[in-house]
A and B are shown apart, each in its own frame.
Chain A
Amino acid sequence: MSEGEKQILAVITTNKDKVTGAVPIFIAENDREKEKTALFLAKTLDAMVHDLENGVYFIVRH
């Protein structure tokens, strides 16, 4: 149940060719690092981790 705008706060990926643009991008060495980075960012930003299922995680505040 969200009110207001949703916003992509950060993108975490192991494949930097998949992402570009004006959003903070974190490049991880492997899946483990990707998950850990995503978790830390989400906890700090009070936001949620979503999976595009192509090696890209993104963090959205709802």
Chain B
Amino acid sequence: MEKYLDVILFGSGAGTLARLLLLRLDYRQYPGYPHGYISHLSLGAIASALGAVAVPAILEKDFTAFTFLALAAQQFREIRNIERETLENLEETRLEKRGKDYIEGIARTFEARNYLVMITAFFTSVATVVAGIWGGAVAAVVLILFSLTFMAGQTIGDICEVVPGKVHFQGSLLNVEDINFMSVGLPEMREKIINEALGVMIKPKNDDARATLHDMGQRMAIAHTAAVIMGSKKDVDIPEFTPLVRKNPDTGAVALYIMPMEKDMEVLVLAVKRTPVLESARVKPLKTQAGRMAAD
């Protein structure tokens, strides 16, 4: 087995490196604590070791060893459940909820990243066997770059136009531009909102984007991201300051209303633009004939 040592080391090294690079803290704000990093890094290392070992196993005609990959797949599905459970438990005490769609998206991402790591390790090993250490190095770089771009996904900024919107009242009704949010009864609350609230309009670039914004989970994700980045004045006894995203039923555009700790419109627009498009909210009616016909 000694002759395969460099193959295995190279493969699992590349896989673990890929996992490490995929672990950077992004707009999902998760995981944000050392123990989360440790558990995901270790699982990534195990996944890449499995991927890397598979190649020498095949070369030695030890085909039963290859079936261990199936076992690994089972483990990773378990990770998805664990992630989902953890996030759902944490959700209860959050003022600005992530929403079930967002949680499902994060859980799925964590599962998928382990497969990516395994694939990276596997093909790096193959390349090392075929073309030596340098071949392996090139394959590792290519595969890691592929993993990083492949998993990046779209953001709201890619599919929508995000522009500042004016917060105003019609009587007691709170509006951002032409979109109606709620009735705010107390005059002093209204004054505070007029002075301190920010609003943005999120206009879909096409019908696919409009369908994505229609999803409540996606809208919760936008409000959540904005609240995490900007801070929120909401508290349990001030539901008036809950960040909300509501739709214009005629155009399909949505507006976000938020009472931020940092009143900075530029940052808010950026935060909304960087909100990930949730996998579960991503629909493409324009891919169908009927959808295209409906669009014009």
Contacts and interface: CB of A to CB of B under 8 A. Distances in A.
B235 to A, nearest CB: 9
Given A1-B97, A1-B99, A35 B186 contact: yes
Count chain A CB atoms within 10 A of each CB in B186, B189, B242 and give the residue with the most.
B186
B242 to A, nearest CB: 7
Contacts of B183: 50-52
Interface residues of B, number: 22
Nearest to B236: A46
Contact of A49 (B171, B184, B223): B184
B187 to A, nearest CB: 7
B239 A48 contact: yes
B101 to A, nearest CB: 12
Contact of A53 (B171, B236, B242, B244): B171
B239 A50 contact: no
Contacts of A9: none
A46 B236 CA distance: 6
Interface in A13-62: 35, 38-39, 42-43, 46-53, 57-58, 62
Contact of A51 (B184, B216, B244): B184
B220 interface: yes
A60 B236 CA distance: 14
Contacts of B104: none
Interface of A: 1, 35, 38-39, 42-43, 46-53, 57-58, 62
10 contacts: A1-B99, A1-B216, A46-B236, A46-B237, A46-B239, A47-B239, A50-B185, A51-B183, A51-B185, A53-B171
